[in-house]
Amino acid sequence: MDFSATQSVKPVPGKMGVTGNMVFGAQYSHATSVLEVERLRALQMDPASWANDHPTIADDSNYDDHPELSGYQTLPEQDVKDDSEVESPSPESDKKNRMSLQSASGKLASMDSGDNKKDGASEQGAKNDTTGAGSSVVVEGMKPSALSILQDPLLILRGLDYEAAMGDLYLVGTDHKSDEGLYALQRSKQKARFHKFKEMLQQPVVDLDVLRKLSWSGVPTAIRPIVWQLLVGYLPCNSDRRNLALERKRKEYQDGVQQTFARGIEGLDQTIWHQVFIDVPRTNPKMALFQNETTQRCLERILYCWAIRHPASSYVQGINDLVTPFFLVFLSAYIGEDQDPESYDISLLPQPILAAIEADSYWCLSKLLDGIQDNFTHAQPGIQRQIVKLRELICRIDAPLAAHLQSEHVEFIQFSFRWMNCLLMREVTLQHTIRMWDTYLTEHPHGFSEFHLYVCAAFLTKWSAELQRMEFQEIMLFLQDVPTDDWQEKDIELLLSEAFMWKSLFHSSPMHLTSASK
């Protein structure tokens, strides 16, 4: 799909008349103003009061926020003439103009003012009337500002308050039921932190070092899409370049998809396609979003296009898991805060938004895999190195556990290969994985390799007491299905904190690990 077709044309600036009349090009400038006034009079409405009741039209001259108004023009005040000064239109033009006004009224009535989330459309199932694909589409659960966010991700901040962004965020070490005072204090600190995020993202040039420091302890859900895209290096830090770069990358991906699938499935590399085709339905089989047919078609295109562009590794099982956090996070940018992205029916969204989610997920997956590509090349040397380092690290930080595993003839590769290949995504929930990735993305440029190694060490030692009471078969069964179903966000926070501690102690002193393993 050509994304250039979805970009709005800069409207011609002009003054707002007392009636707030909108016109469709110069050819209708006077006739349509008269027809609109006549229509309002027929409805026994005062034109000026009608304008006051429609701030989206009368007060907001920034049409970039509303791509649906592309090509519309405000009627300059000096051009509003008395009825007697305007020649009556012919019956044909009268009918044409009225049809145009009715069409415009339908569009404008369905639009949200941007910041106001309590209008009638939102109250009736958060439904929105958009024109993203060239026709009117009613979308349930989609943000009223979704098409604006599509063109400028920074608009995700518009009208966003702390409560909507953070929700009932878990605060480490607090229990709001038993200690309301401490909870209120921590909540206040989180609120100040949230406003720091907003202030940082609104800067002309985002300071990535500062953004990384803020994001290490977690990113608010509502702004995670744009923060991730900045941290991974997909979005430029310079706001002046951001929207054009986004449009270019999305178009580049869509052109690549069209070229790759031009001859249909028969024209693909059947070996790669077969593996992708059978792996996609296995991706998060218990989550409705990833069992949705629309989602699966997107994942197939993402994975196949990545594979053929990286012949050194091609497609390897496990990469299908790594795209899912990006896909879910970027979906959340376009649906209401009251919607659960894990169960949302993505097929409801307009095609331009679906295409943007797919393209953004592809490019961010590519950025991630660029840093760990030797995990997926022949013989997967990156994973082999990490497994050796994990064994050395456990020998250093938990010698009794290391000795017990050795006495039971448990090889680290038997259980930790999947931990490295899938980044522990099979061991914790997707939401907890997303929280972990907040931190991984800040540990630039080796968060998904070196820092992940220390997270795996902290994860294994967490079960040290249980494992030392088990024999070989019990150990293997336990590590293949680690009991994390009841984990909360505090458990992930503690895991990351412990990993940071081990990294601080050993990362700069690798000889400590080598000597301990001998």
Q: What is the mean pLDDT of the chain?
A: 78
* Mean pLDDT of the region 368-372: 96
Q: Has residue 39 got a pLDDT over 80?
A: no
Question: Which range has highest mean pLDDT (64-68, 84-88, 169-173, 479-483)?
Answer: 479-483
Mean pLDDT score, 314-333: 97
Q: Which residue has the higher pLDDT, 29 or 316?
A: 316
CA nearest to 76, candidates 117, 26, 119: 26
For 257-309, the pLDDT digits (tens) are 999 999 999 999 999 999 999 999 999 999 999 999 999 999 999 999 999 99
What is residue 164's predicted lDDT score, i.e. its pLDDT?
A: 59
Structure tokens at 148: 């604006």
Q: Which residue has the higher pLDDT, 227 or 76?
A: 227
The reported pLDDT for the residue numbered 331 is 98
pLDDT digits (tens, 9 = 90+) for 107-134: 333 333 333 333 333 333 333 343 343 3
More confident residue, 141 or 161: 141
Residue with more model confidence, 496 or 93: 496
Residue of 515 and 272 predicted with greater confidence: 272
- pLDDT at residue 329 in the model: 98
Q: Report the pLDDT value the prediction gives residue 281, as an integer from 0 to 100.
A: 97
Q: pLDDT digits over 436-464, tens only?
A: 999 999 998 999 999 999 999 999 999 99
**To the nearest whole percent, how much of the chain has pLDDT over 70?**
68
Long-range CB contacts for residues 50-58, cutoff 8 Å, separation at least 24: 50/19, 50/20, 51/16, 51/18, 51/19, 51/20, 54/20, 54/108, 55/113, 56/108, 56/111, 56/112, 56/113, 56/114, 57/20, 57/22, 57/108, 58/16, 58/20
Determine the average pLDDT of the residues in 170-193: 68
User: Kind of pairing, strands 137-140 and 22-23?
Assistant: unpaired
CA torsion, ordered 454, 456, 461, 467, to nearest 10 deg: -160
Average pLDDT over residues 96-102: 38
Rounded CA separation 290/283 (Å) = 7
What does the pLDDT average to over 230-258? 97
Give per-residue pLDDT as tens, 206-238. Answer: 999 999 999 999 999 999 999 999 999 999 999
Which tops the pLDDT comparison, 398 or 41?
Answer: 398
Q: Which pLDDT belongs to residue 89?
A: 39
What is d(CA 66, CA 10) in angstroms, rounded to the nearest whole number?
Answer: 11
- Given this model, what pLDDT does residue 517 score? 53
**Band of the pLDDT at 379, cuts 50, 70, 90?**
very high
pLDDT of residue 137: 53
